[in-house]
Amino acid sequence: MLPADVLIDSAQILALLALITLLTKPLGGYMAKVYLGERTLLSPLLSPVERTIYRLAGIDEKAEMGWKQYAIAMLLFNMFGILLLYSILLLQGGLPFNPQKFPGFSWHLALNTAVSFVTNTNWQAYSGESAASYFTQAAGLAVQNFLSSATGMAVMIALIRGFSRRMAENIGNFWADLTRGALYILLPIALAAALLLVSQGVIQNFSPYLKTTLLQPIAGPGGRIIAEQTLPMGPVASQEAIKELGTNGGGFFNANSSHPYENPTPFTNAFEIFLILLIPAALTNTFGRMCKSQRDGWAIYATMMFLLVIAVGALYMAELGGNPLLALQGPNMEGKDVRFGLGGSALFSATTTATSCGAVNTMHDSLTPLGGMVPLLLMLLGEVVFGGVGSGLYTMLAFVVIAVFTAGLMIGRTPEYLGKKIEITEMWTSVITVFTAGILILILDSIALVTTAGTGSILNPGAHGLSEILYAFASPSNNNGSAFAGLNANTVFYNVLLSVAMLGGRFIPAVAVLWMAGSLVRKKYIPPSVGTLPTDGLFIAWLAAVILIVGALTFFPALSLGPIVEHMIMSGGY
Amino acid sequence: MAREIKSAFDKTLIKTALLNSFKKLDPRALWRNPVMLTVEAGSVITTINFLINLITGRGDPAWFTGMVSLWLWLTVLFATFAESLAEGRGKARAESMQKTRTEIMAKKLKKPEPGAEFETVPSIRLRKDDYVLVEANDLIPSDGEVVAGAALVNEAAVTGESAPVVRESGGDRNAVTGGTLVIDGSIVIRITANPGETFLDRMIAMVEGAKRRKTPNEIALEVLLVTLTVVFLLVVLNLSPLSIYSMKAAGQGHPVTLTVLVALFVCLAPTTIAALLPAIGIAGMERLFHRNVIALSGRAIEAAGDVNVLLLDKTGTITLGNREAAAFIPAGNHDVTELAEAALMASLTDETPEGRSIVVLAKRKYDLRVKDLPEHAAAVHFSSETRMSGLDVDGHSYRKGAADTVMRHVRETGGTIPSDIEGSVTKVAKTGATPLVVTRDDEIMGVVSLKDVLKGGIQERFQKLRSMGIKTMMITGDNPLTAAVIAAEAQVDDFLAQAKPEDKLKLIREHQEQGYMVAMTGDGTNDAPALAQADVAVAMHTGTQPAREAANIIDLDSNPTKLLDIVETGKQILMTRGTLTTFSIANDVAKYFAIIPAALSSIYPQLEVLNVMRLSSPFTAILSAVIFL
């Protein structure tokens, strides 16, 4: 590759990240207003709708909840979502909008898929165009795309109230937070984004699959001549927008964002990356504003951006180096689309795993060993580099609590953050939030490695197979949902085990975070003084170090037997 | 008494601590420290492994397993030893205190009167609100308040201070402590503590460390450490299937052995901090004890590290207890020598520090000789009615007193008031000094300016506190003018003048409502409510019983500036914890680089690249990591 291409790629990456930075403050401010119940630009249009929803559902949006009540409401709502989606998937064969006459899912695949979409994971053990009807896609999966993101944001907002309120009992009303997040934030942006995607060629229809004649017939397996191609159709654009915006990542088609109907041009590629980062980045400002300390919001933003830039750089460099064992030297383009180039692919891969999106425009399995380790590591760090909508920030705040605790001790004060003392409950909930995914991965991949049901699904031998298993557990446990491929995941064993990973990885931290909010909200506010630990500046480096060290300590042995040794084998010419 | 034990490395202490460190290996005793318990489990596993290797000759070389298990045992022993040593020092001290407590016979009175009948009972049978008679050479049987009489008491048993102190009924000096000795006089005491609750009992319990409850901060840190330990345990358990899979994939090598897994786990687990955590807490109390401060809870010391507002009594803390004469300002047509002479005469029999300082100033500055007191000289002592003191001699009467009292007196006796006296009084008051007006017969001679003397180096201490983010606040009964001058001179951040006890309480509440942690010192009964409200409350040992009960820290030297030491100790405890934790965890990264290549090189020789420390053989690599843990 020419240096000029590297320059163009870098410019594209930097411009996109700069745009996100610019929008963080205005969107963050808008979201703060929405959750504070203040008037916004969209209020004249949407507040009648909001009031109608409350009236129909019999909700008193002003009735505040304690953390337990909030957690129960959140859990019940999501359990109901799983049941509903599970039923739709099982009964798909008898439901409308099914021109291809797809039958219902098997019980374990339906369970896995229902859990996957409700937990904002969007791990897909099926392929969309050959298993899911339009009804399933639009009324089942896309609905959960909205609701799971709104749930993540609601939990986040409850935690913010824990920090910002003083000596109070309640952390807000779950139903109101859920409704406002979906109605004022997700729906308008997704609508605008879908229209923009349609203008670029993303399809939106309910027609049966098209049969077209190939211009040049090709020879298929067994010498059969293939002259016809089936083009899958569907309401893609509407689902594509929320797929990125809500960091869901479940593709309409199996090929996800590398499919030309989902992501046709370099522009839509950049736009989709932009959508993925938009809300997680802006939430840092919402957090700062609602806690009356925008500096702290920016400090977290800076930590996330710092880690993302490192990750993108590492991934890009690894791919640029290519594979020295090939006779044809150059960047590694296997599994990448020339439409997006090295820059558009590297940024997408890093972004989709830094956030818990999991949409892919590149086959991660085909990345170089170290290049593939970057998405893996971003997930293993706990999805805090922007992370999922809401969930990324609350996991990051759990890291902040741990970082503040250790740094605070070192300056000789019992630690506090945003004027709230960090004590036993805060520590318990933080370690639960931070370590749940890691513990799940360590336990579940041990099970997979020692059972034949586990190892039987591995398609690639050697160290790469280990990376595949590690990725397969890292992704659902952290509610990312992207796949490394190379693993046959549609088995009873993997469907059930990964459902456990997704449920645990989503709801254990979410309840812990609400518990933390309930503990924080009761505390009094301690005004900062000269002796208070500053939580910006040097603290950003400390926080990044804590995140990296915790991740490294937990996964260094696994990584060294997977991608690291694979890289050494490759570079050593074995 | 606090000075009896000179060093931590006393031979007998070490012996007992060593013995106890083995006793503490009992898992039932070790469960309080879960991290070390897991290390002990690891030690047992490797020891069994060592025996198997030794007998069967299979698996890892026996010398290697043996060394690993030896080092693990040493690690556990180090932890139990550190705790035993810290506890042992407290115990030794408690034992010396216990001696003073044994078998005191008390004269229990039927009625609270000195002449009433009494029966002799052992002190442990005394209950609250019993009355006892204590005479010269008796030990005071329990904590109480003097309700009648006065006595000279030697409190060395508690304070280590051999100079006896006066304890008398009424006022702020009525508290007595069990175990102290009455040297002279006879007093009736109302007992204020049941057996087991006395000051001595509480002190013994504290220094023994028996009742040492973990502080919230300590528990929060333990939560983090235990979680990390659990995660590391899973990491190690995960390594076994990982290595088995990799061995099959690579087609060579052997899986990681149990000994190596245990070694890796113990290296990773935060053993350093977990081993020292109990000792750090005890050591903090120790450190205070060396400064003659008893912390009644570990929480109080930690809270001291967080204090951001310090309420300090002016007198005794910021200034020396006594004011000193600084200048003579004559009034009317008298000259300064005349005034000095009159002031000297008025103060000759005044034994208060202020009076003596006037004598000293007059002698030093004006070279006045003290004549022998004529026999017919009559001292007039300060009384609450006249509010003046002085001397009648040679037909003259010399008096001194507060400006308004003296002037009223002069006016009443028909004397004249010089025109410049008001000006002088105000001028003196404005400089923060206290004006005393001196008269000879009915003539006003002038003003003596009594100045507060700041304690040496007090400004630097406040400067240091300010840089630590702690706001200092001076509390004084003085008028605002005087208070402002002293506050400025001492460089405190704020002051409260003409403070009444209820003002203190209000001030503390206000600050706490804004989220500040407030520390204060006090000694009087009227300080008790404020002490009870403050987050860190230091009572002077010379203070009253209610004050001592309301406090959570007792200063045996009754030196109010100790508060500053307490704050520093609180900070040091937290810093030690933080630094050790960070060190312990950051260190783990290095250990991975030592152990992982060594443990897995039989499967993937390529991993040798990670062996950045160039350790020659897998066994030495693992051993060196274990030793270094």
What residue has token string 């165009």? A129
Residues A94 and A239 in one domain: yes
* Candidate from A414, A445, A463 with C-beta closest to B238: A445
Instruction: Please state, in angstroms and rounded to a whole number, the distance separating the CA atoms of residues B50 and B64.
Output: 8
Instruction: Please state, in angstroms and rounded to a whole number, the distance separating the CA atoms of residues B121 and A474.
Output: 74
State the pLDDT at residue A217.
Answer: 86
* Candidate from A413, A419, A554 with C-beta closest to B231: A554
Taking an 8 Å cut-off on Cβ atoms, the answer to whether A560 and B572 are in contact is: no
Q: Please identify, among A254, A284, A314, the residue that sits at the C-terminal boundary of a domain.
A: A284
From chain A, pick out residues whose CB is under 8 angstroms from the CB of B610: 560, 564
| Higher-confidence position of A562 and B88 | A562
* Candidate from A414, A525, A552 with C-beta closest to B589: A552
Spatial neighbors of B426 by CB under 8 A, at least 6 apart, are none
The residue annotated as part of the active site, out of B130, B143, B306, B313, is B313
Instruction: Please state, in angstroms and rounded to a whole number, the distance separating the CA atoms of residues A276 and A278.
Output: 6
Residues A395 and A274 in one domain: no
Model confidence pLDDT, tens digit, residues B491-504: 888 888 887 777 88
pLDDT reading at A529 higher than 80: no
Q: Any CB–CB contact under 8 A between B526 and chain A?
A: no
Residues forming beta bridges with residue A468, ordered by sequence position: none
Instruction: Name the closest residue on chain B to residue A465, using Cα atoms.
Output: B249
Spatial neighbors of B627 by CB under 8 A, at least 6 apart, are B71
Which residues does chain B have with pLDDT short of 50?
A: 1-8, 210-211
Instruction: Name the closest residue on chain B to residue A564, using Cα atoms.
Output: B607
From chain A, pick out residues whose CB is under 8 angstroms from the CB of B603: 561
Q: Testing the interface with A: which of B236, B242, B248, B571 to mutate, by most A Cβ within 10 A? A: B242
State the pLDDT at residue B162.
Answer: 61
Give the CA angle between residues B350, B352, B358 to the nearest 5°.
Answer: 70
What domain range includes position A467? 389-570
Decide if B313 is catalytic.
yes
From chain B, pick out residues whose CB is under 8 angstroms from the CB of A422: 220
Residues A116 and A251 in one domain: yes
Q: What is the pTM of this model?
A: 0.83
The answer to ipTM > 0.90 is yes
State the pLDDT at residue B5.
Answer: 42
What residue has token string 């309401």? A235
Query: Considering the domain boundaries, does residue A177 fall inside one?
Result: yes
Query: Considering the domain boundaries, does residue A217 fall inside one?
Result: no
* Candidate from B469, B578, B596 with C-beta closest to A560: B596
Q: Please identify, among A284, A316, A347, the residue that sits at the C-terminal boundary of a domain.
A: A284
Model confidence pLDDT, tens digit, residues A425-455: 999 999 999 999 999 999 999 999 888 888 8
State the pLDDT at residue A261.
Answer: 95
Model confidence pLDDT, tens digit, residues A220-237: 887 788 888 899 999 999
From chain B, pick out residues whose CB is under 8 angstroms from the CB of A424: 216, 219-220, 223
Q: What is the average per-residue pLDDT within A533-553?
A: 91
State the pLDDT at residue B211.
Answer: 47
Residues A278 and A410 in one domain: no
**How many CB pairs (< 8 A) connect A and B?**
174
Residues A264 and A400 in one domain: no
| Higher-confidence position of A239 and B561 | A239
Total domains present in chain A: 2
Q: Testing the interface with A: which of B215, B224, B248, B568 to mutate, by most A Cβ within 10 A? A: B224
Query: Considering the domain boundaries, does residue A278 fall inside one?
Result: yes
Instruction: Please state, in angstroms and rounded to a whole number, the distance separating the CA atoms of residues A301 and A384.
Output: 11
Model confidence pLDDT, tens digit, residues A55-75: 999 999 999 999 999 999 999
pLDDT reading at A32 higher than 90: yes
- In angstroms, what separates the C-alpha of B41 from chain A's closest C-alpha? 21
Instruction: Name the closest residue on chain A to residue B604, using Cα atoms.
Output: A565
Q: Testing the interface with B: which of A399, A460, A560 to mutate, by most B Cβ within 10 A? A: A560
Residues A273 and A400 in one domain: no
Taking an 8 Å cut-off on Cβ atoms, the answer to whether A450 and B241 are in contact is: yes
Instruction: Please state, in angstroms and rounded to a whole number, the distance separating the CA atoms of residues A464 and B254.
Output: 19
Query: Considering the domain boundaries, does residue A11 fall inside one?
Result: no
Query: Considering the domain boundaries, does residue A53 fall inside one?
Result: yes
| Higher-confidence position of B150 and A295 | A295
DSSP secondary structure string for all residues of A420-485: EE--HHHHHHHHHHHHHHHHHHHHHHHHHHHSHHHHTTB-S-HHHHHHHHHHHHHHHHTT------
Instruction: Please state, in angstroms and rounded to a whole number, the distance separating the CA atoms of residues B445 and B236.
Output: 90
Q: What is the average per-residue pLDDT within A162-185?
A: 95
Spatial neighbors of B39 by CB under 8 A, at least 6 apart, are B72, B75, B76, B79, B266, B269, B271
Instruction: Name the closest residue on chain B to residue A552, using Cα atoms.
Output: B589
* Candidate from B237, B246, B581 with C-beta closest to A561: B246
Q: Are B515 and B539 in contact (CB under 8 A)?
A: no
Query: Considering the domain boundaries, does residue A403 fall inside one?
Result: yes
Q: Please identify, among A284, A308, A324, the residue that sits at the C-terminal boundary of a domain.
A: A284
Strands of the B553-555 sheet, one edge to the other: B293-295, B553-555, B536-540, B518-522, B309-313, B471-475, B494-496
Instruction: Name the closest residue on chain A to residue B579, using Cα atoms.
Output: A410
State the pLDDT at residue A402.
Answer: 95
Taking an 8 Å cut-off on Cβ atoms, the answer to whether B468 and A407 are in contact is: no
Residues A254 and A107 in one domain: yes
State the pLDDT at residue B2.
Answer: 39
Kind and range of the H or E element at B152? strand B144-154
Query: Considering the domain boundaries, does residue A1 fall inside one?
Result: no
Taking an 8 Å cut-off on Cβ atoms, the answer to whether A553 and B588 are in contact is: yes
Q: What is the CA radius of gyration of chain B?
A: 34
Residues A271 and A143 in one domain: yes
Instruction: Please state, in angstroms and rounded to a whole number, the distance separating the CA atoms of residues B191 and B142.
Output: 7
Which of these ranges, A91-95, A116-120, A479-483, B447-451, has the smallest mean pLDDT?
B447-451
- In angstroms, what separates the C-alpha of A163 from chain B's closest C-alpha? 14
Query: Considering the domain boundaries, does residue A198 fall inside one?
Result: yes
pLDDT reading at A106 higher than 80: yes
Write B58-61 long-range contacts (CB < 8 A, 24+): B59/B257, B59/B259, B60/B257, B60/B259, B60/B260, B60/B619, B61/B619
Taking an 8 Å cut-off on Cβ atoms, the answer to whether B469 and A529 are in contact is: yes
Q: How do strand B319-330 and strand B309-313 relate by DSSP bridges?
A: unpaired
* Candidate from A402, A407, A527 with C-beta closest to B224: A402
Interface of A with B in 404-443 (CB under 8 A): 405-415, 419, 422-424, 426-428, 431, 435, 438-439, 442-443
